[in-house]
Structure 1
Amino acid sequence: MPITIRNLTVYGEDAKAEPVLKDISCSLPKESLTLIIGKSGSGKSTLLRTLGGLVPPGSGELLYDGEPLWRKNRVSRPLLLQSAVAFQFPEHQLFAPTLQREFDYSLKPYRLPKPERLRRTDAAMHSQRLPVSLLDASPFTLSGGQKRRAALAALMAAEAPWLLLDEPSAGLDAKSLTRLREELSRWKEKRSIVLVTHDIDAFLPLADRVLVLAKGELAADLAPEQLYQHPHLLVDAGVGLTPAMELAGALRQAGCALPEGIPAPAGMAAALARRLQAGAGSRHSPDPAPGPGPAVQPPASRQEQPAPPLHTGSGIGMLYQLDAKLKWLVYMLISLGVLLQSSWTGLAASMLIVPVLLLMLQPADRRKLAQLSRPFLYFMALAVFISGIGFATEASVPRLHRVEFDGSRALGTLRRLSVLFEITLLGLAFTLTTSTSAMKQGLEAALRPLKNLGAPVQMLSLAASLTLRFIPLIVEETDRFATIAKARGKRSFRKNQMPVRDLPVFAIPLLLSLFQSVEELILAMEMKGFGSRQREQLPVLQTDKRIGGRALRFGIVIFLLLAGIRCWEQWRGVSGI
């Protein structure tokens, strides 16, 4: 069952933005191992998830043995069962109380008879060198290595024709990586494998085909041997030469005759030994032996250059370059001005800040801000509706007409929540344009005078900055585990739809991940001496006076305008909230 991709284009959350994948066309043969390589952000994982039916194509076709995977924005369930997806750190996908329940969940979509389920479970456990006695144990009591092998075993038990692996070597030591390579060699004899990786040297000798992505486009589709003959393709794609390629080029330049094809470590070691033996009796090095070609060094124009700094005159540049201390001050000034508003006029005036804020964000952060704001808007709509519901208590009112909706109460709730929503938007924009350490250092510098009064400035600043940063973390982890739940559930679903039956697969790993993040945070705080009586050294931040002065004037002006609207309303006798 080959996979055919024709003019595939995939968009992110915003269909009007630049596509993540652009006009991809290729064919993936069955019973082969295809590598997908490219620099970070090139679209590798998106392509893998599109192959697994987790991301719908914007245009083009994705065919399994001639049959389209997507029909009318819905994935074909029979074809969905033909692939199994493993994300980075598959041990984080475990959720069931016992390992046997993990296998039961993975095999449930295939509707197999019990004897066949048991056979596949035992075979998968044996392939991963795990004793069958562990099936009754909780997966959370296993060691880290056992968890990963158990997660891979649950994946392999489905015996899907296609295995889609995203960075399977992440976090593996040398021994585990060797075992994984051996397993891949066995797997591709019966199944087809698509593997996304940055560890090119580890998997290229096993590959039958290589897809090189660059900026969402297919830069090359070739055999592994051809990639070694044309290493400039990796340089042009921003990946750069692999360590094996660099070593092979250095050995050829030193006169070592390397065997043709992919330079394996054993072959390069043998060539180096021959070179040393040949040069032992002579003080002069022989002429360099001919080979497939010297290593291609990236020309200056091809070397990846750091991104140029944002222009300081633009709104985006000012927002991202502004010192965190001034960001805190401007954020608090504008937030205070928003909190002062008590009427629709003042609220409408303060809301004018939102489009200005959106224009100052980069497109990726703008989309992320919209994604983070969506749950709050749903909550606002529900709260406004509930607040407007009332019940008539008069006995004269018929029972069926006692439920009433008070529009004034609903509007009052909407005004209050709109103020909170705007302040939340400001805080989210702050977090998207500032790192956690910068927020912490900025608040420490702003609260420096309180240090002399004995206030725990460092702890307060850390708590405030982490509170702002924790909301985006929750949203990112939610999206990640929702995708994993969809991959494991193997149910036909529409875009952005989450089956209720998959909630345990999604919620339990999500909570465990958040608990682990909190635990790591506490450990890091303890290691850095938070809470101790040691003298805390507050940072000295450097500020661009021109940008800082412009931002500070902007915050003061906005605050004065909003405060002026509030005073004018009080003078006119406008009632408060």
Structure 2
Amino acid sequence: MSADWMLNGVSVSADGADKRLLLNDVNLHFKAGQITLLLGRNGAGKSTLLETMAGIRTLQEGTIGLGDDSLWVSTGHRKKLNRDVMLRFGISMQHAESQWFASTVREELLYSLKPYRLKGEEANRRMEYALAEAGLATELLERDPWTLSGGQQRRLTLACLLACEPEWLLLDEPTAGLDADGVRRLCAVLEAHRAAGRGAVVATHDLDALLPLADAVAVVSGGTVREAAAAAAVAHAAAAPQALCALAELRAEAALPPLAPARSGGGAPWPEPREVAAVLAAELMRPGRVLGGAGAVVSGKVADAKLLTGAIVDDIANKQPYTGPSLAATELLRPDRFDPRALILVYLVLAASIFAQRTLLELSLAAIVTMMLLVPFRTLIWPWVRVIRAYAVLIAILCFIGGVTFTPLSFDWTKALPIVLRLGKLLLIMLLGMPMLKLMTPFRLQRSIEQSFGWLSRINVPIHSFALLVTLIFRFIPLLTGEWERFAKLAHARGKAVTALRTVPFSMLQSVMIPYVRSILRLAEQMADALEARGFGYTKRKPTYGFRLRFGRSDAILFIAAAFSSVLLFLIASVL
């Protein structure tokens, strides 16, 4: 018999500069030997909840435990994943193709089995069993997973999980892309899994197929989760039409008045959407009115119906305080706030002034000015903290190597100073350039190059091709980091790594690097096909632009601040 999942006060924030809460104070109990469905609109937080349970989302607050074992364990001032817990469950991603990186189906299955350290015969037995249960032929073992159809890839996802024989299955939209036979096989697998005393948590919109199997249902809405309902409530809810169930829920919450006598005599048994909206709006205007209690239990098709027709109720009842950047900061960080030409000009002016600094005191003053200029954009630099830290460590190491002498053993600061100055200037210039990737979109950068140097095309300079090349480079940098983060997620979800999230353990680098390069090349090929399909490369002699960039007030203020800082640094350099 498996252990129960316990989630207490779980909160999860978005990555990057946007620190809004994706999950807020979630308290759940998933019982072993049961199948629990997670329902909710797109973006409600179902996938986030599953990824949090799988340890591939960082906890902001709260605890997650499987039986008596905690998913996260404290090691000094940091927390790391509990490998024993990681080996007891398996998760399938919403998009099956997002988890492939091996060259054959066999290698994909072996990668999933690797953390369990099985011998050859046992591994082969499990692979054959998993393929048979998922409805895949053994002839596919030597095929590239990317060459399989969408339904076959979804079946392979299930096979990778079944081969590991986990106590718990965490499935995200498992019926997507499956045909009728695939859905029947999935249901049979879930029933057998439950019969063995094991549990499953399934995020789905396919109630017709999975609701009859469900022992309980939980509704995810606005980052909160309503407690799972009992099986009896689910079965009872399934018997009524969704529209009637939605009305019953709203009336139970006192959000709608009883059925009007005029309507009870004939016509449709439910009001028009405009009537429902008008009544809800009137109820919301009442002082102290709160719709939908936080502890309400919603089950079965009632839950789905409420999600469909009672959206406004959940949005009002479950809204959370905004914890991200202020509105002024958000406006300042918009990618269309500044003209790319102004950003590049500001960057060049500041970089020139930093290069002009010659002493350690001048460099220190330049660092202070740079930090002051970057304060409004600090949230855009935060994702690069690890790179900045690594570069600072590199500077320290190179300074030590450059300044140390062995005859006699001593440290000569005059030898290390030039290293500090050169690499310190590069660090400041690098810091200035980091926000630029987020302050302009690749398309706006392309347009700025075309507007500024488009006249060169008259003398046969391929300026439009150059602008497209620059745009592709800027587009590809986020793709590189995004792919690496995807492989880091795979290392934790399938490889059961317990290192820091968004990093690949050193022991897995060898098995990841070649697939990572292959994945980048595949992305480049897809991008080339997309560009060709959209007509890039066939530039007209006189192109027609949908919009033109213009310098605005924000650009002027930014340039004045940069110019003033640059002049100040030049004056300091000349005086000192």
Q: Sort the TM-score into its range (normalised by shorter chain).
A: 0.7 to 0.9
Alignment counterpart, residue 54 of structure 2, candidates 52, 57, 63: 52
Structure 1 window deviating more from structure 2 (128-137 vs 473-482): it is: 128-137
**1:373-403, Cα deviation, whole Å (9 max, x unpaired):** 422441343255236524999xxx65xx68x
Once residues 434 and 564 of structure 2 are traced to their aligned partners in structure 1, the CA distance between those partners, rounded to angstroms, is 23
1:63 corresponds in structure 2 to 65
What is the DSSP-based 3-state SS (H/G/I as helix, E as strand, rest coil) of the residue aligned with 2:191? coil
Tell me the distance in 2 between the aligned counterparts of 1:443 and 1:312. 32
Is structure 2 residue 553 aligned with structure 1 residue 549? yes
Aligned partner of 2:32 in structure 1 is 30
Task: Tell me the secondary structure at the aligned position of residue 493 of structure 2.
Answer: helix
Q: Is residue 558 of structure 2 the alignment partner of residue 558 of structure 1?
A: no
Once residues 454 and 343 of structure 2 are traced to their aligned partners in structure 1, the CA distance between those partners, rounded to angstroms, is 17
Contact 2:145 2:153 in 1 (8 A): yes
Task: Give me the whole-angstrom Cα distance separating, in 1, the residues matched to 2:482 and 2:457.
Answer: 35
> Quick one: distance in 2 between partners of 1:232 and 1:504?
57
Q: How far did 1:84 drift?
A: 0.6
Structure 1: runs of 5 or more not aligned: 236-249, 256-260, 264-291
With 100-109 and 479-488 compared, the bigger mean Cα shift is at 100-109
Mapping for residues 304-343 of structure 1, pairs under 5 Å? 314=328, 316-320=330-334, 322=336, 326-341=339-354, 342-343=356-357
CA shift, 1:482, in A, is 0.3
How far did 1:478 drift? 1.6
- Kept after mapping to 2: 8 A contact 1:95/1:504: no
- One of 520, 523, 536 as aligned partner of 2:529: 523
Structure-2 separation of matches of 1:198 and 1:383: 53
Tell me if the contact between 1:95 and 1:508 (Cα under 8 Å) persists in the aligned partners: no
The correspondence for 1:371, drawn from 383, 386, 410, is 383
TM-score, with structure 2 as normaliser: 0.73
Other structure's SS at 1:448 match:
helix
- Are the counterparts in 1 of residues 86 and 496 from structure 2 also a CA contact under 8 Å? yes
Q: Secondary structure at the match of 1:482?
A: helix
Deviation at 1:230, TM superposition (A): 5.3
Contact kept in structure 2, 1:36 and 1:211, CA below 8 Å = yes
Number of aligned pairs?
A: 505
Cα offset, 1:136, TM superposition: 4.4
Other-structure match for 2:221: 214
Q: Could you say if the C-alpha distance between residues 407 and 26 of structure 1 is closer, same or farther in structure 2, counting changes exceeding 3 Å?
A: same
Out of 166, 189, 192, the position equivalent to 2:191 is 189
Aligned to 2:376: 359
Query: Root-mean-square deviation (CA), in Å?
Result: 4.4
- Tell me the equivalent position of 2:278: none
One-letter code aligned to 2:11: T
What secondary structure, in the 3-state scheme, does the structure 2 residue paired with 1:320 have? coil
Q: Secondary structure at the match of 2:545?
A: coil
2:277 aligns to what? none
Structure 2 unaligned residues grouped into runs of 5+? 194-198, 251-266, 273-299
SS at match of 1:189: helix
Distance 1:6 1:358, change over 3 A: same
Counterpart-to-counterpart distance in 1, 2:114 and 2:222: 38
Query: What TM-score do you get using the length of structure 1 for normalisation?
Result: 0.73
- Where in structure 2 are the equivalents of 1:174-185 lying within 5 Å? 176-185=178-187
Question: Counterpart in 1 of 2:115?
Answer: 109
Q: Which amino acid in structure 2 is aligned with residue 164 of structure 1?
A: L
Deviations 1:245-272 (A, max 9, x none): xxxxx986699xxxxx859xxxxxxxxx
Q: Does the 8 Å contact 1:86/1:165 carry over to 2?
A: yes
Q: Is the 2:175–2:183 Cα contact (8 Å) retained in structure 1?
A: no
CA shift, 1:139, in A, is 4.5
In structure 2, do the counterparts of structure 1 residues 455 and 36 end up closer, same or farther at CA, with 3 Å as the change threshold? farther
Q: Tell me if the contact between 2:73 and 2:81 (Cα under 8 Å) persists in the aligned partners.
A: yes
Matched, 1:118 2:135: no
Instruction: State the alpha-carbon separation in 1 of the partners of residues 205 and 381 from structure 2.
Output: 29
From 150, 153, 161, the equivalent of 1:155 is 161
Q: Do the aligned residues in 1 keep the contact of 2:36 with 2:228 (CA within 8 Å)?
A: no
Distance of 2:386 and 2:511 partners within structure 1 = 23
- One-letter amino acid of the structure 2 residue matched with residue 523 of structure 1: D
Identical-pair percentage: 27
Question: Secondary structure in 2 aligned to 1:447?
Answer: helix
| Aligned position for 1:474 | 480
C-alpha separation in 2, matches of 1:3 and 1:435: 43
Distance change (3 Å), C-alpha of 1:359 and 1:34 = farther
Compared with structure 1, are the counterparts of its residues 444 and 542 closer, same or farther at alpha carbon in structure 2 (3 Å cutoff)? closer
